[in-house]
Amino acid sequence: MTQSTSAASALGGLGKFTELRQRLVFVLLALIVYRVGSYIPVPGIDPEAMLRLMEQQQGTIVDMFNMFSGGALNRFSLFALNVVPYISASIIVQLMGQIYEPWKAMKKEGESGRRKLTQYSRVGAVFLAVIQAGSIASMLQGQAGVVYAPGPGFILTAIVALTAGTIFLMWLGEQITERGIGNGISLIIFAGIVASLPSAAIGTFQQVSNGEISAFAILVILALVVGVTYFVVFMERGQRRITVNYARRQGGRQAYMNQNSHLPLKLNMAGVIPPIFASSLIMFPATMSQWFGQASAPTGDGWRDQLMGALQNLSLALAPSEPLHMLLYGAMIIGFAFFYTAPGVQFHKTADNLKKSGALVPGIRPGKATADYIDGVLTRLTLIGALYLVLVCLLPELIRAFWSVPFYFGGTSLLIVVVVVMDFTAQIQAHLMSHQYESLMKKANLKGGSRGLTRG
């Protein structure tokens, strides 16, 4: 029987690694499909003219948007919009879920309510993708030589192609989440950022060889990247542990015996969501204002020329490293950090659960006082976490302002890369631990069965 137990344990371990390998292979193949699709161009675009246009946008908000799409916008491929419409739609749905009573009630329905809200996000993503695709196509028509045959046919083709690409990426992200490991949407954004790094690094070293950037500046930048990476890992693992005392009865009329535990609260409970939301909201209006402002030459029409001038001024004000851009970006990150954290922690419910289980926070009365205490601690933690996100995400703005580095690695991109890698690693470890637990339970059952057979 011992041999059969060992064989079953070995088969369980083999099955564990086989399933994990299948999930990892699925993630890898899905990301390869994503990268291949980012090289399929939308019909009707002159690739060389599009490349020259994008080179003129280096150092602008368009360059940042191109980095998040993994260079897909640079080639105006099927995945040029990436998952930005879906993220924007998710923002709108979550905001409405806080102020619109039917959707607030829907959120309380559990899994069925979440599925309905997810469906609303998908529909909203399609609607936003159509609007964004049509706007970008119209702007490209205003650039000389970029579109072979401008007109309604090209706009319709671009809308269908870009919207289909966004829908496919939404589906691909869901498949990665269900059949692979990690959050699919986050991994797609991660793959786009990482894919842009080699070319950006090559461009930076070319600037060093041409004397545009000093070698000392590059060493300082590399030291900053390493230091910020360590800082992000340290902050993401940071917790505030609230001590909780549980009273346990020994039996009969005997006295209680205290048992200490803790209530863990992460320093950054919102994760990478606030920077992603803030980036998606600030990038599209800035991009549209810039392209609208550059699309048309003066016509002599007073109000039209004034509108174009205002759009040009707005695009300049929203450009990276500009005070207005950094102010809005930082304010959005702080706002989304509080917005995303507050609904996730129900203070009164947590306090009631502690009170029902005979637990209390030392020095705090049970009930409402405990809820207020947890609320105050979480508010302070969220403020610290939000300021940390702002500090990290504005780092590339400062680097570009002082050293004119031609890429945006750092800030939001560095935060996304580090957090996604940490989450991906944690899920792999959790997957392995769950299978180890299952194999131990099977082994214990087999041993129990062998003892039963021996007694029989």
The secondary structure of 289-324, three-state, reads: HHHHHHHCCCCCCHHHHHHHHHHHHHHHHCCCCCHH
pLDDT digits (tens, 9 = 90+) for 330-341: 898 998 888 877
**pLDDT over 80 at 427, yes or no:** yes
pLDDT for residue 124: 92
Q: Band the pLDDT of 454: cuts 50, 70, 90.
A: very low
* 393-422 confidence digits (pLDDT tens): 887 777 766 666 555 555 677 888 888 888
Q: How does residue 254 score in pLDDT terms, banded at 50, 70 and 90?
A: very low
| pLDDT above 70: residue 117 | yes
CA-CA distance, 91 to 121, in Å (whole number)? 9
Look up residue 90 and give its two tokens. 């998710």
Domain boundaries, the chain: 2-455
> How far is it, in rounded angstroms, from Cα 305 to Cα 298?
6
The predicted model gives 350-359 an average pLDDT of 76
CATH superfamily of 2-455: SecY subunit domain (1.10.3370.10)
DSSP for 132-187 reads: HHHHHHHHHHTSTTTBSS-SHHHHHHHHHHHHHHHHHHHHHHHHHHHHSSS-HHHH
- Which residues have C-beta within 8 Å of that of residue 79, sequence separation ≥ 6? 34, 37, 38, 69, 70, 72, 165, 166, 168, 169
Torsion of CA 174, 43, 194, 321, to 10 degrees: -110
Q: What pLDDT, on the 0 to 100 scale, is given for residue 261? A: 78
How sure is the predictor about 197, in pLDDT bands with cuts at 50, 70 and 90?
confident
What pLDDT, in 10s, does the model give residues 21-48? 888 999 999 999 999 999 998 988 888 8
Q: How many CB atoms lie within 10 A of CB 394?
A: 20
pLDDT at 413: 79
d(CA 373, CA 351): 10
pLDDT computed for residue 263 by the predictor:
81
Query: Which pLDDT does position 54 carry in this prediction?
Result: 81
Name the percent of the chain lying above pLDDT 70.
75
Quick one: tokens of 86? 């879906």
Mean pLDDT of 223-240: 85
Q: What is the pLDDT of residue 156?
A: 93
Contacts of 102 (CB under 8 A, 6+ apart): none
Strand partners, 266: 239
What pLDDT does residue 163 have?
94
CB 408 within 8 A of CB 63: yes
pTM: 0.76
